[in-house]
Structure 1
Amino acid sequence: MISVDLLRRLGFKEAFAIVVGSMIGTGVFLKTAGMAQDAGAPLYVLLAWLAAGALSLMGALTYAELGCLFPKAGGEYVFLRNAYGPLTGFLYGWTRFWIAAPGSIAAYAIGGVTFLESLVPIGNYRLEAAIAVIGFFTVLNCFSVLFGGAVQTVMTAVKIVMVMALAAAIMSFGAGTSWDHLGSASAAGWKSWSGFGLAVLAALWAYDGWNNLPMAAGEIRYPDRVIPQSLVGGVIAVFLLYVGANIAYFYALPFAEVANSNSTLHPDAMPVAIKAALHSFGGAAVTILSLAFVFSALGAMNGSILTGARVPYAMAQDGLMWSRLGQAHPRTHSPVASTVVQGVWACVLAASGTFDQLTNCIVFASWIFYALTTSSLFYFRRTLPAPAYRTPWFPWPPLIFIGCAVLLIVNTLWTMPKESLAGLGMIALGIPVYFLFRHRRINA
């Protein structure tokens, strides 16, 4: 069989769109309610968004250097394999393949359908609608990466305008708004550090996706320049958008109204973003925003589909996944088999749990490997020549990131043992599978 390689077709515009578009999905429109329940006051919710944004930036500064060191398909899989050996790399790829990537895709689909219900009477067909959108965007990403990148660019541009317009309109023209909403509960609102940690965990889901770009590094032109610029610039842009949106929510609504919005505790309530728009502008704005929020969720899903399929592709190239997944299509130069399998499994996960259960499990499992990946930079600094980009203020960004990641992991184990143990169990299941693939590769 003739070997077909991935092609470097993505520039800064597409790379920036992947970073921003993969991050801005449903979290900023849904997660504030649960964060308010955990944190206890507007001030602490905003601080949780700030902490999660700063932590994501520390990670982006570090990942940018790693991406320049290894501008290949696979992202964290490649970094961990080269630093800690093939078993560690495989366990990351295994977790990404079975939980993180398809779980994110499923969660975005469920979130998108949640907003779609405000426009279309879906009734008992919520699951079928989620599966349909997963299938549609999976097919789109079987075309060339340039086509997928162009779709991502357009959708990301619309999302940026949408979030800015929402915050600006509420704060400029909304009825019944008040700055008093932001300070009224702060004096007595603090619950606990564990509660604040859960609020940060929820915010991290909304930021999740900044790490996706290195997975597609093998298809980026001028990676030494484009990867750092798009990673760091994308995280900063999203942070500003998120803070602005959340200030607008609390400006429009009393704290109790925010906390009682759509969440695990209030599954039938309206999402906080729609509630803020309805309170400020009435029904017409809700219709427009609901359509825009569906668009936002689907844009994030498209970015996850595009980048996530590159991890099993890279693993299969090393003989640590089914060989068919490591083949690119001869016409599109895209990993079609990997993309399709990822989409099918995402449909299965869409039927397996609620939005919050999926995202909490994903974030916990992912952050274990984020911490390991970030620590690998210390090893590469000693063993490899310096790339064109170097993490500024080293070693503080990776050290801060690792320290906070460990605290986050411990807090999640303590407060959400069921989801945490499920994530750990899935990681552990990868160990015998690794040795099975390794045995097959040796005896091939």
Structure 2
Amino acid sequence: MAKVSASESLQPKAIDIGDDGNDEKGSSERVRLKKELSLLNGVAIIVGVIVGSGIFVSPSLALKNAGSKGMALIVWVLSGFLSMIGALCYAELGTMIPKSGGDYAYIGEAFGPLPAFLYLWVALFILVPTGNAITALTFAQNILQPLWPACQPPTDAVSLIAAVVTCFLTAINCYNVKWVTRVQDTFTAAKILALLVTFFASLWYLFSGHTENLENMMEGTKTAPGDIAIAFYTGLFSYSGWNYLNFVTEELKEPYKNLPRAICISMPVVTVVYALTNVAYFAVLTNAEIHASEAVAVTFSEKILGVVSWIMPLFVALCTFGSLNGAIYASSRLFFVGARNGHLPLVISLIDVRRLTPVPSLLFMCLVTLVLLMYNNVESLMIYVTAVEAIFILCSVAGLLWMRYTRPELDRPIRVSLVFPMIFLVVCTFLVVFSCFNNPMEVGIGVAFIAIGVPFFYVFIVWKDKLTWMQSACNSFNLTCSKLFLCLPEDSKEL
């Protein structure tokens, strides 16, 4: 058992960001996260995180706000195109600033610690746990659906199963990174298969002569800017996760090569698969059937697959299981990096000395997610999450442009055309501004929560002369957790 002292082992360590993790000398003696992610793992993380609950929940919401199937399909394709542009911008950011933490690291480099802390603040309590809660609830609803074929599963049972799967995947993430990547690779393949089955089943339906649902696809299209903005929110929610590989840059082998390659492979794949899946839904289901459905994929399977319709809830469960696994893995590194930089309690930056995983960060995120599982208004959560996320992604891309001007000396292995970040900034600004007209409550709550983070930053981060009892309590808590979980700060020597 490692011997830990409060004065030596629990002090924040300086991190050499330029270290590629391949230094043989002393590497076996120091506690640090290992570079274990290959290009295939990177693609699996992006595709696996993106293809989750959204494609099975969002189509009805996108159609509701777009007004017509044609406009909804346009929204889905343009959402993929916009996500691809954002991902390319993040490829430049990720290779220019090769730190884990994604937006937190980029915003901090461009605009300083306060905006970076505010991103961490909302990610900790809104973005990550809410997204994980939606995914876990979708998994639970679909895994239980065959047991209640004529009605919705009991709410308590759904919440219980969602909590169990969240804890189970957190345990896997705590135990071994290789297990995480194996689960991710396997379930990513399964979810692509599920969506392809959906598409080919719809082709069979069309070739049987049922083309009526694809006639007059633009009828009822809504053109109000607020409606279009909310339609894009529901589409973009289904693409959320394209920046998650940037959270784990320090664990990616050859990040300068594999980060942009993973993005350029995964994003077109996801966009094509999503477009084909929506065409399948629209070909088989009427507008009324889609509007009335809480899980479009299940309604689709009941209409077209007959006695084997049970297979679709199973496929959806597989998709959401893999998505939740990837989200837990990647987002835990965000909080790990934030704590390592002093913006969260030090205990969250500790690493298990035997398994080399950020166990306290994973456990803390699991607890916050379990609390949010009690809230089940998916549409409001989507708007709430996407509005807040759009604000900070906008800040990250603005930071790319700002650093082109203020820090031209930085090495940029990838340099995207200025047209891409400009398009992204204009579209994101449009979405945030016009969504305020249709859903002022959700957007207002998100902005208010961001503002609440400002006093927390000055009290807990900037104020150095804290009360003695407060400092002593924090140190005791950190030391207790270190002993309880056998964890040390990164780059500590095992004693």
Retained in 2: the 8 A contact 1:182–1:255?
no
Of 81, 85, 107 in structure 2, the residue corresponding to residue 54 of structure 1 is 81
Of 119, 127, 145 in structure 2, the residue corresponding to residue 100 of structure 1 is 127
Amino acid at match of 2:38: G
Which residue in the other structure is 2:111 paired with? Answer: 84
Distance 1:404 1:273 in 2: 29
Of 303, 310, 334 in structure 2, the residue corresponding to residue 279 of structure 1 is 303
Alignment of 1:159-174 (within 5 A): 159-173=191-205
Which residue in the other structure is 1:311 paired with? Answer: 334
Is residue 334 of structure 2 the alignment partner of residue 302 of structure 1? no
- Post-superposition shift, 1:256? 2.2
Amino acid at match of 1:212: Y
Distance 1:135 1:362 in 2: 22
- Post-superposition shift, 1:43? 0.4
Distance 2:215 2:426 in 1: 31
Distance 1:240 1:362 in 2: 24
Once the two structures are superposed, residues 12-39 of structure 1 have per-residue CA deviations (whole angstroms, 9 ceiling, x without a partner) of 0111011000100011111111221211
Is residue 257 of structure 2 the alignment partner of residue 207 of structure 1? no
Distance 2:350 2:220 in 1: 58
Once the two structures are superposed, residues 23-59 of structure 1 have per-residue CA deviations (whole angstroms, 9 ceiling, x without a partner) of 0001111111122121111100101101211110110
- Post-superposition shift, 1:438? 1.9
Amino acid at match of 2:98: P
Which residue in the other structure is 1:265 paired with? Answer: none
Change (3 A) 1:205 1:331: same
Alignment of 1:14-53 (within 5 A): 14-53=41-80
Give the 4+ runs in structure 1 shifted more than 4 A: 173-177, 440-444
- Post-superposition shift, 1:188? 4.1
Is residue 428 of structure 2 the alignment partner of residue 401 of structure 1? no
Is residue 359 of structure 2 the alignment partner of residue 332 of structure 1? no
Is residue 275 of structure 2 the alignment partner of residue 243 of structure 1? yes
Amino acid at match of 2:106: F
Distance 1:158 1:97 in 2: 30
Of 165, 189, 213 in structure 1, the residue corresponding to residue 221 of structure 2 is 189
Which residue in the other structure is 1:387 paired with? Answer: 412
Distance 1:244 1:23 in 2: 16
Once the two structures are superposed, residues 279-320 of structure 1 have per-residue CA deviations (whole angstroms, 9 ceiling, x without a partner) of 122131x21111110111111111111111111111111111
- Match of 1:328, SS? strand
Distance 1:441 1:212 in 2: 33
Once the two structures are superposed, residues 83-121 of structure 1 have per-residue CA deviations (whole angstroms, 9 ceiling, x without a partner) of 000001110011111111111110101111221232234
Question: Alignment length, in residue pairs?
Answer: 433
Amino acid at match of 2:226: S
Once the two structures are superposed, residues 143-176 of structure 1 have per-residue CA deviations (whole angstroms, 9 ceiling, x without a partner) of 2333212211111111111111211122125787
Retained in 2: the 8 A contact 1:177–1:251?
no
Amino acid at match of 2:372: L
Amino acid at match of 1:128: L
- Post-superposition shift, 1:183? 2.8
Retained in 1: the 8 A contact 2:206–2:283?
no
- Match of 2:147, SS? coil
Of 385, 392, 395 in structure 2, the residue corresponding to residue 372 of structure 1 is 395
Once the two structures are superposed, residues 220-268 of structure 1 have per-residue CA deviations (whole angstroms, 9 ceiling, x without a partner) of 0100011001112211110000000000111112222222221xxxxxx
Distance 1:74 1:144 in 2: 20
- Match of 2:437, SS? helix
Q: CA RMSD in A?
A: 1.8
For structure 2, which runs of at least 5 residues remain unmatched after alignment? Answer: 10-29, 472-495
- Aligned-pair identity in percent equals 26
Distance 2:427 2:173 in 1: 35
Amino acid at match of 1:144: N
Amino acid at match of 1:390: R
Which residue in the other structure is 2:385 paired with? Answer: 362
The structure that has the greater radius of gyration is 2
Retained in 2: the 8 A contact 1:319–1:437?
no
TM-score (norm 2): 0.84
Once the two structures are superposed, residues 375-395 of structure 1 have per-residue CA deviations (whole angstroms, 9 ceiling, x without a partner) of 11123324133322222xx10
Amino acid at match of 2:297: A
Amino acid at match of 1:159: K
Retained in 2: the 8 A contact 1:175–1:279?
no
Retained in 2: the 8 A contact 1:177–1:280?
no
Distance 2:278 2:227 in 1: 18
Is residue 174 of structure 2 the alignment partner of residue 147 of structure 1? no
Amino acid at match of 2:335: P
- Match of 2:400, SS? helix
